[in-house]
Structure 1
Amino acid sequence: MDAYGLVTELRTCMSIAIFQFIGGEMVLVTAAETESPRRDLPVAARYMYLLPVSLYLIGILLVGLCVDYLNPLLSHLHVPQSSTLNPRLIGITTAATSPYVIAIQAAGIKVLPSFLNAAFVLAAITAANSALYVSSRTLFFLARNSDFTRIRNTIGRTNNGHTPLAAILVSFVPGLLAFLVPIGVFGRLYTGPLLCIYASECFAFIRFQQGMKLFPKTINRNRNEYTKMHYRAHWQPLWAILGLVLCTLLVVTQGWAAIYDLCAASPGVSKGDSITDIIAAYLGPTLFFGVYVTYKLVYKTKIRSYVSFKDKWYPDDVPDESDIRNEGWEGKGGIKGFLSWIR
C-alpha cells in the first residue's frame, strides 16, 4: 500500500471512529431539567467522554488481541461479506460482524453471542431514545422562542405532565427515514454535519475566550467560579484550536476515498457506489453551510464583534445553586486528587 493509501485508510478509520463518539454532549441538553445544572453538568459532561474513551481503548486492545483484522467475518468497506449471510443483509453492518461476537464464537462459548446481540439491540434502542430526547427538547425550546403564534401554541406546549408531546412526535417522524437506507449511508450523512457543528463550537469558544482577554473586567478568569468551581477547562484554547483544525480537515477529506475509487475505477467498486458515497460525504456539510448562508442573507445579520462583550453581564453566582461538589475533594491525594482535578 502506498503513502496515499495509508492516509486514505487512516482518514476512513477516523471517520468511522468519530461516528462512534458522537453524542457525548447530549447530557448538556438536560440543563433545563436539572435541579443544579452549574453543579452537576460540568462533572457529567467530563465523565460522558472520559468513561467511553477509556472503555473503547480497553475494548479495542482486547479485541485486537483476539481477532485478526483480516478475518472474513468482519465488516470491510467495499468487500463482499460472507455468502452465508441473508442476501438482504449484504452491505449492512450487523451484530454478526461485531469483533466481540466473532471472538466469543471462536472461543466456543455458545450462549454469550446471543446475549451480546440482545445487548447491541438494547444499546441501539437507548441511543435512539437519547437522540429523540435531545431533538424534541431542542425543538421545544426553539418553538417556545418562535415568532409564530401557531408554532408556540402547538410544538411549544407541554401536557399536564410537563412533557412536550407535540415536539416529541415531530422529532420522531424523521427518524423513520432510517428504515429506508439500510446500508450505512445515513451514518456517513450524519458525520459531516456533526463535524461542522463541532467545528463551529470550537470556533465560538475561541472567539469567546479571546473576548474575555480583551475585556477582563467583564469576565475575570481569576475569580472563584473559574479557578475552583463551574467553568474549569484545562489547556484551553489548545483543545479548541486542535478540534477546529481536525474537524475542518475531516469534513474536507471525508469523501477522498470515494473520489479516488471513482477516478481510478477501483476494481470491485461500482461507479454508482462511489457517487453515492461522495453525495453522502458532502451533502450534509453543503446543507449546513447553505442554511447558515441563507439565514445571513435573509435576516441580514453580521458576525458580532468583540466590542459586544462590553455590554454583557455575567453573574458571579446563582443564589439557589451553592456549589458543593468540591467539598471533601480539595486537598486530597491519590485517586481522589486525580478525580478532583478532573471535576
Structure 2
Amino acid sequence: MRVTSPLVPAAMLLCLVAILAAGRYGPVSEYVRQVKNGPSATIAFDNDNPNASGLKQWIVSEAKKRYEAPVNAVVDRVWKAIPGYSGREVDIEATYEQALGQGYREAGGGGGAGDGAFPWVYKELKPSVSLRDLPASPIYRGNSHKPMVGLMINVAWGEEYLPSILQTLDEEKVKATFFFDGSWLAKHADIARDIVQRGHEASNHAYTHPNMSTLGAARQRQEIAKTEGLLTTKLGVNNRWFAPPSGDFNQTTVDIAREQGLQTVLWTLDTIDWKKPPASQVIDKVSARASAGTLILMHPTQTTKDALKGMIRVLRSKGLTPGTVSETLSEERIEEPK
C-alpha cells in the first residue's frame, strides 16, 4: 500500500493560498478588476442572457419606453368618423445593427461616431380598425395624434386667384387638395390639369354646386358621378373624397358617395374667406384654432391669396405639417418637425 507523504497536501495548500493572494493583491488583481468592470462585463457576468451585449440590452430596455400603441378609427358622437393612426415599436435587431455600423458599443448609446442622434429604427403598427371599416359617416377632422393639417380649397369660381395661390404653395413646398365643381372643371380642365401636374390632389365637389340635402337620391347620385367622370377622363385621377357644396348634405349623400367609393369630407376650421375678411384675421384664426388633425377650408379668393403664406408658416410654428386631405386622414405616421 502506497503512503502519501503529509508534505504533499501542505504544499498544495500553500500553492492555492499563493494563487488567491496574487489574484487579490498581486499584479493579476488589476487584470481581474478590468475584466469585471470593462465594456464586456455585461456579457461575461450576465447570467440571464449571456449572449447579449450591454448595448443590445440597453436598446431592449429603452424600446419599452418608445413604444406607441396604434389608435383605431372610431365614429365619434361629435366629430363623426375619425381616422386611426399607426403606432410604432423599435425594431430591435435593425436598431442594433445600425448602432454597430455607426460605431456605438456602449450601453446608453455612448461611443458612436459623430454627434448625430442614436439611430433608432421603428416598425409601424397598423390599427385594427380603419376608416373603411366604419359605417358610412362624414369626416370633419383627422386624428389628433397626427401632427398634420389638411388644406382644402373648394373651386367653383375664382380662377383668377389660382396662379398666385399655386405659386405660394410651390414656394412653401406644400401640397393641397382642390375640390372641383364639375361645371367649373368642364370649362377649366387646363387649369385643373396644371394643378394636378404640380402634385396637388384633385377631388369631387358635385357638378352644379347644389344643396345636396334638397335633392332626391337619383339627382344626388348624378351630381357626384358626373364630376367623378370628369376627374377620371380629364385629369386621370383616382379620387377618394367628396366635399358637399356649402357643407350641405344628409345621410343619403354620405351613402351614395360611399357607393361610388368616396368618403364624405367636410372641415374643422372655416376661413370664411368668401366674406373677404383681412388676411391678418384669417392668419390669427388659424394660429388660435388649428391643431393636429384640423381640416382648413378655403376658396380661391383675394383673402386666401394674401393669407396663405402666413397660414402655412404659423402652422409650422405650431409644430404642424400642412398637406393634402389624403395625407392628413391617412393612418400613416408622420414625425413631428424638428
Please give the TM-score of this superposition, normalised by the length of structure 1: 0.19
**Which structure's residues are more often helix, by fraction?**
1
Please give the TM-score of this superposition, normalised by the length of structure 2: 0.19
Task: Point out the structure with max Rg over C-alpha.
Answer: 2
**Which structure's residues are more often strand, by fraction?**
2
